[in-house]
Amino acid sequence: MERHVSSLRGSAIAVAGLTSMLAACSNTTTTNVAAREYLETRLVADTAGLGAASVDSSLKNPWGMAFGPTGVLWVSDNHSGASTLYDTTGAKRALVVAVPSSGSATGGAPSGIVYNPTADFVIPGSSKALFIFAGEDGVISAWNASTGNATLVADRSGNGAVYKGLAMAANGGANFLFATDFKQNGVDVFDATFQFVKSFTDSTVPAGYAPFGIQAIGGQLYVTFAKQLAPANQDDQAGPGNGYVDVFNTNGTVVKRFATRGALNSPWGVALAPAGFGGFSGDLLLGNFGDGRIGAYDPATGSFIDFLRDGTANPIVIDGLWGLTFGPSPDSTTLFFTAGPDGEAHGLLGTLTAK
């Protein structure tokens, strides 16, 4: 469940710090560095020691995020087995949704989450799902206002699935869910009734790497690959250059290799920056779980541009960085992030805005 963090992660972060800063220097000049500086604001944490504006003990190792039409942010709390809700200022909403495990109505390990804008994905015995979760225990679950807590709708735990991320997209006029099965090295596809359809991957990615994060952008799927930590292959092995990113069509065919090693280090979060996001407007942002840095890439060529930087021109480092997503209007140029600091023992929700 990403709870057994490799002992190599600390040294990998230190090495990555020097390596990435040297690499970024060739892309950074005195004329553009100011445009690449961003302000980090810590909204919510599970402990006061992280310096956030408010404390919520349920925010444990948050991964994926999804905004609904009301502008409320739903967060997958991997170590709490729940989803907690916040407005864009970090104020907590009263609703806390328990996420099921394979054998219980509670105790899940949610990772990815999506909002469902379609009429599909009806929860059996209820109406359409509003939010859908993938879990590291191989469970897909769904929620609407009448279910109370999330309901198990697909269970691949018996197949050994370890789902790290979730996306929704259409193919051939039909809607599908795409869940990254890190242990089995595949992206599992589910139809609009939550039935398993198939699994796909990129066989040209070196052995020992598997789908980690996933995001639907512009009708295509951006899939990050991280190195599996042997022998269990359930968690990632952080390290400089440990990562690949592919673009897939929604039918599972590879469009292109977007990014290869370089500044990648167990990449998970993916977001396309809008206009108005400072010097990286329009660029593709890839967040490294391995070293806590966010790299900006040319969306057409996949070329690495630079890391997001703080007010002292140093790369921003967010320990245990997971999700990246931009907010709804009027916060559409605000980048929200989640993280599981201190080896995923804690939780953090915050924002990055152009200075």
35 pLDDT band, cuts 50/70/90, is: confident
Amino acid identity, residue 168? M
Average pLDDT over residues 211-226: 99
Average pLDDT over residues 311-326: 98
pLDDT given for residue 21 in this prediction:
41
pLDDT tens column, 226-265: 999 999 999 999 999 999 999 999 999 999 999 999 999 9
Is residue 222 included in any domain, yes or no? yes
Q: 13: which residues sit within 8 A by CB, 6+ positions away? A: 238, 290, 291, 292, 317
Average pLDDT over residues 77-87: 99
Is residue 1 included in any domain, yes or no? no
Average pLDDT over residues 129-142: 99
Q: Is the pLDDT of residue 26 over 70?
A: no
pLDDT given for residue 154 in this prediction:
99
Is residue 31 included in any domain, yes or no? yes
Q: Is the pLDDT of residue 4 over 80?
A: no
Domain of residue 283 covers: 9-354
pLDDT given for residue 1 in this prediction:
55
pLDDT given for residue 10 in this prediction:
42
34 pLDDT band, cuts 50/70/90, is: confident
pLDDT given for residue 32 in this prediction:
74
Is residue 4 included in any domain, yes or no? no
3 pLDDT band, cuts 50/70/90, is: very low
Q: Tokens standing for 11?
A: 């040294």
Is residue 2 included in any domain, yes or no? no
- Identify the CA nearest to 80 among candidates 47, 43, 110, 48: 110
Share of the chain above pLDDT 90, in %: 90
Residue 259 in contact with residue 297, Cβ under 8 Å? yes
Is residue 341 included in any domain, yes or no? yes
Q: 62: which residues sit within 8 A by CB, 6+ positions away? A: 75, 76, 77, 78, 84, 322, 323, 338, 339, 340, 347, 348, 349
Average pLDDT over residues 271-294: 98
pLDDT tens column, 268-278: 999 999 999 99
139 pLDDT band, cuts 50/70/90, is: very high
Total domain count, the chain: 1
Assign residue 92 the CATH number of its domain.
2.130.10.10
